[in-house]
Amino acid sequence: MNYPVTELSSWHALANHAPILKKSVLRDLFFDYPERGHWFAAHGAGLYLDYSKNAVNEETIRLLIQLAEERFLPQRRAAMFSGEIVNLSEERAALHTALRAPRDAMILAEGRNVVPGIHAMLDRMREFSEQVRNGTWTGASGKPIRHIVHIGIGGSYLGPEMAYQALRSFRQKGLDVRFVANVDGAAFIEATETIDPAETLFIVCSETFTTPETMANARAARQWIVTALGEQAVSRHFVAMSTNADAIREFGIASEQTFGFWNWVGGRYSMESAIGLSTMIAIGPAHFEQLLQGFRAMDEHFLHAPMEENLPILMGLLSIWNNNFLGADTLAILPYAHELRRLPAYLQQLHMESNGKCVGEHGESLTHQTCPIVWGEPGTDAQHSFYQLLHQGTRQIACDLIGFCEPLSGLAEHHDQLMANLFAQAEALAFGKSAEDLRTEGVSEKTIPHQVCPGNRSSNVILAEALTPYTLGSLVALYEHSVFVQGAIWGVDSFDQWGVQLGKALAQRILPALSANKMNFNLHDSSTQGLLNRYLRHKMS
């Protein structure tokens, strides 16, 4: 397994095969094989994936599957699901799949079945959620809770915020959730300025309970409650999620209001753990169960569907193909659903914190490209900003367009228009518009070069019936497993994130000087020092 991926025969074969597909034209591929749209498609766990508008043929898929086999993907997948240590640098299992396992499953981590503990936690979350939702959990002055403020950052925030937006139609009326992640005080002020402390519950989420941004916001929240309602109110207005029970106790939150989880769940894989309490309160335990079922269905599909029909495997391998062999080193996430507007941000962390690495899992330097840059915005907004570059720019950009057959808004006409745009954009990206087409339409010779759209831009279309909790769980698990597949092929540890430590440590070194208004010359390079001095001069003036 330690063998460089670039030395594998399938990698070489793909490298030799790539120039043929680079030269091929999607129009011709569809002309030669009119059934292509049906053939290069797969479905599972409520999702339909059309990948026919990628520059692939049957041979490409065969070679990519050979690559997965040569890279022992089935064995790696089994190791992850069964709780083996797959996060080598931190010597941990990565058992997020256990979070959605059924009650009677048996999954061992360090020799102990983790499933009963997970379900005990879910039961406590259900009980607490119901109390908040039906008003039996009140604030210190007896008022029911009407506002939840979820405090956390990165994986302790992006999933819950994304899910809260995505599942808007399933939320309980009269109960809103706000999110505070940034240590910029404006985020805290914005979340709290119009709400009544007596009706507010803070949910502090931090795996480590040491993350400075989260701790600063949690302290501000504590102060806000104490100022308005007194010290004794803290116990009615705070709950916490963490693996660090001691730090929560020190903060002053009682163990009954603490929901733990485990260090074998990485932050970016934790939205259905206790970190999802705000989601459960917002949509209710029954809908949360449907979310878990969606995750579970995609887990089953990933485990059992043959590779050539397996959505996460196909998506992961296509991403490798586009990135490593065709040079599309960015991936645009383009949901045609207003509710999924935070999906690109969520998937940025999922992909880039997992696979943004230049070192292999055994510490070796990697010579091949790893994670693509992930970005995106919902359609149709994005069509009026950056799609110009997608259609006529000099780069190849892989695109995932995501849409739903049923509208959630009740405005059916809007929905047809929205989906017409999705289908049209995928068509335009693939087939473009040639000079010949334009000439036939009578376009002037002068403007023809400007109007030509070269086409041949790779895209996946993911289509589901409706954006429900089930579909969302399935969609998130699809991307989780696709990221896993890519990491396994590249040979990186997809579950650590050492790269974020350096900046955090340097900020902690700079902060005391800023707080004390002290100009420490010669501690930093001339650029950093110059910026610090400028900031301090302004602060002290």
Q: Which residues bind ligand F6P (CB under 6 A)?
A: 153-156, 206-208, 211, 214, 267-268, 353, 497, 500
80 or 204, CB closer to ligand F6P? 204
Is-catalytic flag, 384? yes
The number of helix segments (H) and strand segments (E) in the chain equals: 22, 15
When the beta carbons of 356 and 403 are compared against ligand F6P, the nearer one is 356
CB-CB contact of 177 with 164 (8 Å): yes
Q: Count CA atoms within 13 Å of residue 32 on its CB side.
A: 8
How far is the C-alpha of 74 from the C-alpha of 76, rounded, in Å?
6
3-state helix, strand and coil shares in percent for the chain, rounded to the nearest 5: 55, 15, 30
Q: Please say which residue, 248 or 318, places its beta carbon nearer to ligand F6P.
A: 248
CB of 457 to ligand F6P, least distance (A): 32
Structure-token pair, residue 476 = 């998130």
- φ, ψ at 3 (rounded to 5°): -75, 135
Query: Are 53 and 461 within 8 A, CB to CB?
Result: yes
Active site residue 173: no
CA 12 from centroid of its chain's CA atoms: 31
Structure-token pair, residue 218: 């949690």
Catalytic residue among 12, 22, 362, 504: 504
Q: Could you tell me whether strands 147-151 and 176-180 are parallel, antiparallel, or unpaired per DSSP bridges?
A: parallel
Q: Based on CB atoms, which residue is closest to ligand F6P, 159 or 312?
A: 159
Token pair of 436, please?
A: 């010949």
Q: How far is the CB of 274 from ligand F6P (least distance, A)?
A: 11
Degrees, nearest 5: CA angle 209-133-166: 70
CA dist., res. 493 & res. 279, Å (int) = 29
Q: Which of 384, 446, 538, 539 is catalytic?
A: 384
Q: Which two tokens stand for residue 115?
A: 């499933």
User: Based on CB atoms, which residue is closest to ligand F6P, 156 or 290?
Assistant: 156
Active-site hit among 339, 353, 377, 480: 353
Rounded CA gap, 54 and 68, in Å? 19
Two tokens at 456? Answer: 């041949």
Active site residue 353: yes
Smallest CA-to-CA distance from 97 within 110, 115, 85 is with 115
Q: What CA–CA distance (Å, rounded) separates 116 from 120?
A: 6
Q: Closest separation between CB of residue 135 and ligand F6P, Å?
A: 30
The residue among 293 and 497 lying less far from ligand F6P, judged by its C-beta, is 497
Our CB check for ligand F6P shows the closer of 113 and 208 to be: 208
Question: Shortest distance, CB of residue 64 to ligand F6P, whole angstroms?
Answer: 29
DSSP symbol at 145: P
The owner of tokens 């579970």 is: 296
The answer to whether 146 and 171 have CB atoms below 8 angstroms apart is: no
* Residues forming the active site: 353, 384, 504
